């Protein structure tokens, strides 16, 4: 069996300039673990749920922190330097936090090889591309699990 037989062809994705609040919304609303970041249908990177947690501070979820800062009323009392840093954080986009380069796979890859990749690399979501790097689909661990149900 090949990846193309079980991959999802209608892929939810975002562009590099998509605000991370919107990216978080897309992940949540669509109940997906990873969102490919594309431009002209070329995969540039991927954002997964773990990309939203600040390294070394697992309890800080970036979209919630940004939303808090947007609603904060204390901004007039902070220094110009801190305001500049805060504005940078408020304006983060997908390209600022995406993992790049993004690991991809071809549609003709055997599912057994895919399972090995999931096991050894600990990925949950992998974009499927053609030889030119254009997205043709996406494959997840859930797609493999669905094979068991059939």
Tens-digit pLDDT profile for residues 2-50: 999 999 999 999 999 998 888 888 988 898 889 999 999 999 999 987 7
- Candidates 53, 52, 49, 44; CA nearest to 14 is 44
Q: What is the CATH number of the domain that holds 96?
A: 3.10.580.10
Tokens of 95: 């390209």
**How confident is the model at residue 57, as a pLDDT?**
44
**How confident is the model at residue 95, as a pLDDT?**
92
**How confident is the model at residue 1, as a pLDDT?**
92
User: At residue 97, does pLDDT exceed 80?
Assistant: yes
**How confident is the model at residue 25, as a pLDDT?**
86
| Cβ atoms 6, 143 nearer than 8 A | yes
> What pTM value is reported for the model?
0.76
Q: 127 or 55: which carries more pLDDT confidence?
A: 127
User: At residue 136, does pLDDT exceed 80?
Assistant: yes
* Domain ranges, residue 106: 3-149
| Cβ atoms 100, 45 nearer than 8 A | yes
Query: Judging by beta carbons within 10 Å of its beta carbon (0-12, 13-18, 19+), is residue 89 exposed, middle or buried?
Result: middle
Q: Give the count of domains, the chain.
A: 1
**How confident is the model at residue 51, as a pLDDT?**
75
Tens-digit pLDDT profile for residues 46-89: 998 777 665 544 454 555 555 655 555 555 666 666 666 666 66
């Amino acid at each position: 069996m090949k990846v193309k037989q079980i991959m999802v062809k209608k892929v939810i994705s975002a562009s590099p300039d998509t605000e991370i609040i919107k990216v978080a919304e897309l992940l949540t609303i669509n109940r997906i673990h990873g969102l490919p970041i594309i431009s002209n249908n070329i995969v540039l990177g991927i954002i997964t749920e773990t990309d939203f947690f600040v390294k070394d501070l697992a309890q800080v979820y970036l979209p919630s922190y940004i939303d808090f800062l947007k609603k904060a009323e204390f901004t007039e009392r902070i220094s110009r330097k801190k305001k500049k840093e805060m504005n940078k954080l408020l304006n983060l986009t997908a390209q600022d936090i995406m993992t790049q380069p993004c690991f991809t796979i071809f549609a003709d890859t055997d599912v057994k090889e895919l399972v090995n990749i999931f096991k050894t690399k600990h990925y949950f979501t992998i974009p499927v591309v053609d030889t030119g790097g254009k997205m043709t689909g996406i494959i997840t661990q859930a797609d493999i699990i669905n094979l068991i149900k059939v």
